[in-house]
Amino acid sequence: MSEPVLVLANARAAYGGREVLAGIDLTIRAGERVALMGRSGAGKSTLLGLIRDRIPDRVALVPQAAALVRTLSVFHNVYMGRLDRHPTLHNLRTLVSPARADVAAVETVLARVGLSDKLWAKAGELSGGQQQRVSVARALYNGRPVLLGDEPVSALDPRQGDAVLSELSAAHATLILALHDAGLALAHCDRIVVLEAGRIALDAPTREVDPARLRPFYETA
């Protein structure tokens, strides 16, 4: 059995005096593909944030909102995935005159999400689905071993979503994805963790789960 990447024991989280997560016992091992599921407000985003806070140096993130700088180019938004791994002077120079090697590396990543032709387009000029793919490209470019995705394909059609999740799975050793699409979760993950009212209601291997078992948890009551 692989080594744990993360261990949460009776973890809790609260905002504004309201408890959002309680009694969370969760171990994630290297190489696992974990889908977090549950209704809106069940605590999925909060749990992803808690995980990120515990292992920040190992995480690449695809946030729920694309979180792009709309006035900058697609290149610069993707390049931000590695800002902390370059000297400040190099980053400042890149704003004006990017190095050929950096441009080539970003272009290669964009090709993986079907956006190589948008390298110099302004992020704010893209459609919602394109912006989400830029956010995915930034995480791919980041390259850290644990990928956290908060509805990383929610703006994409099923075919695009399937392709993007395949790219993320190929690039990162461990995936933890908040997903609302049961089909994609079952196809791309080997473990399903369902949150309900801030607690884990189901934690099972994908082979033991089907859409009918999940439906009561992620459909609106």
* pLDDT values of the chain reduced to their tens digit, one per residue, 221 residues: 789 999 999 999 998 888 999 999 999 999 999 999 999 989 999 999 999 999 999 999 999 988 999 999 999 999 999 999 999 999 999 999 999 999 999 999 999 999 999 999 999 999 999 999 999 999 999 999 999 999 999 999 999 999 999 999 999 999 999 999 999 999 999 999 999 999 999 999 999 999 999 988 866 54
CATH code of 4-218, in short, is 3.40.50.300
The contacts of residue 30 (CB under 8 Å, 6+ apart) are: 2, 3, 4, 5, 145, 173, 174
Q: Which two tokens stand for residue 122?
A: 């302004």
pLDDT of residue 188: 97
pLDDT tens readout for residues 168-205: 999 999 999 999 999 999 999 999 999 999 999 999 99
**The pTM is what?**
0.94
Q: Can you give the three-state secondary structure of 51-97, one letter per residue?
A: HHHHCHHHEEEECCCCCCCCCCEHHHHHHHHHHHHCCHHHHHHHHHC
pLDDT of residue 148: 98
Domain ranges of the chain: 4-218
The alpha carbon of residue 37 and the mean position of all alpha carbons in its chain are separated, in whole angstroms, by: 14
pLDDT tens readout for residues 140-161: 999 999 999 999 999 999 999 9
pLDDT of residue 220: 57
| Sheet containing 191-196: order of strands | 59-62, 146-150, 174-178, 33-37, 191-196, 199-205
- The count of residues in the chain is 221
